[in-house]
Amino acid sequence: MIKAVIFDMDGILIDSETIWHEAEIKVFGRVGLEMAVGDCLKTQGLRVDEVVDFWYRQHPWTAVSKTDIADQIVEAVIVGVKQRGVLIDGAEQALGFVGSLRLPVALASSSSYALIDAVIDKFDLRSHFDVIYSAQEEVLGKPHPGVYITTARKMQVPTDQCVAIEDSINGVLSAKAARMACIAVPEQVARYDRRFGIADCQIESLHQIGPELWATLSGNG
């Protein structure tokens, strides 16, 4: 039985993946790393410091520290979110439906609290969540399950009674490693990636989160 719901943020509540891609391409370009959107998809769902580590291992640079690069990416994303960030289509409807279930609801994101706060405040979403938690507090980010295990603990709900709503492979892996049910809502370019098959269900839009889907999940729980 599902007793708590946990939302990812980037790509689930806010349409920020393009903003992230642009920020990464721009900032990594400053240290001579030429990237395309396809390269950004390789690290989607990871914590920003782990994204930087990933590319540093493949193309080391010396001019700027890894911490500075990570900070520059986050700053660029925050500016982008504030200027042109929009909610994912169906996000408000999904939050409303989940709220009507009167279950604990959390936000668990790989993003820093600075970016989480920028999104939450821009769209006035804070009242929807009982717990807001960032993987920046964990030793490892997604796909490690720590962010989800800690979030469930904060809600005082066993992980196997939680459902996570995710858009990335790394996020789905994190949720399933925490023994949670998982609804995958991949962006269109990743929709046919067979790795999403480990999710309990895959949907094309947050508009599909409603009574019928919930009955299916509860039956599987």
**203 in the Ramachandran plot: left (φ > 0), alpha (ψ -120 to 50) or beta?**
beta
40-69 burial, b if ≥16 CB within 10 A, otherwise e? bbebbbbbbbbbbeebeeeeeeeeeeeeeb
Confidence of residue 132 (pLDDT cuts 50, 70, 90): very high
- Does 39 participate in catalysis according to the annotation? no
Question: How much is the pTM?
Answer: 0.88
Residue 102: phi and psi, rounded to 5, are 55, 45
Please give the pLDDT value at position 221.
43
pLDDT above 60: residue 186:
yes
Instruction: List, in sequence order, the alpha helices (H) in 64-136.
Output: 66-84, 91-100, 113-123
Tens of pLDDT along 2-12?
999 999 999 99
Summarize the confidence of residues 180-198 as an average pLDDT.
89
- For the chain, give the percent of residues with pLDDT over 70: 99
Residue 89 falls in the annotated catalytic set: no
Enumerate the domain spans of the chain. 4-14+86-220, 17-84
Q: In the predicted model, is pLDDT for residue 180 greater than 60?
A: yes
91 versus 63: which is more confidently predicted? Answer: 91
The residues near 92 (Cβ < 8 Å, ≥ 6 apart) are none
The two domains 4-14+86-220 and 17-84 share their CATH topology (first three levels equal): no
pLDDT at 207: 96
Residues 177-203 have a mean pLDDT of 91
CATH class of 4-14+86-220: alpha beta
Q: So what's the pLDDT on residue 80?
A: 94
Q: Catalytic one among 10, 49, 71, 167? A: 10
Tell the CATH superfamily of the 17-84 domain. Answer: Putative phosphatase; domain 2 (1.10.150.240)
The sign of the dihedral angle between the CA atoms of 36, 40, 88, 115 is: negative
